[in-house]
Amino acid sequence: MLYRVHINMEKIIREMDRNGIKIHNTKDTMVFVNAKDPDEACKIAIDKVCTDIVTERKTTNIQNMVKKLRKVVSVRKVRSGH
């Protein structure tokens, strides 16, 4: 099933700006994912955001920021899309 997941990025947005990250650089980012249930959708969405960021700039500093991102971001909304 397709889910639309809204992720709260407020706690990491300044660090993303300092590191020059352009993708998902908003306070509330939205990702579409395919998953079996809403819990899996949340996990996949956060993984997708992290993968997109590391793909944009692959440095040690960015990889450390992504580790922090996994701990501080939160999911605001999960909606199923038909």
Q: What is the mean pLDDT of residues 46-53?
A: 95
Tell me which residue range forms the domain holding 26.
Answer: 2-78
Residue 81 clears pLDDT 90, i.e. is over it: no
Asked whether the predicted pLDDT for residue 82 surpasses 70, the reply is no
Question: Please, how many CA atoms are within 13 Å of residue 4, restricted to the half-sphere of its CB?
Answer: 7
* The pLDDT value given to residue 57: 87
pTM for the model? 0.89
Banded model confidence at residue 34, pLDDT cuts 50, 70, 90: very high
Average pLDDT, the chain: 93
Q: State how many domains the chain has.
A: 1
Query: In whole angstroms, what is the distance from residue 80 CA to residue 71 CA?
Result: 24
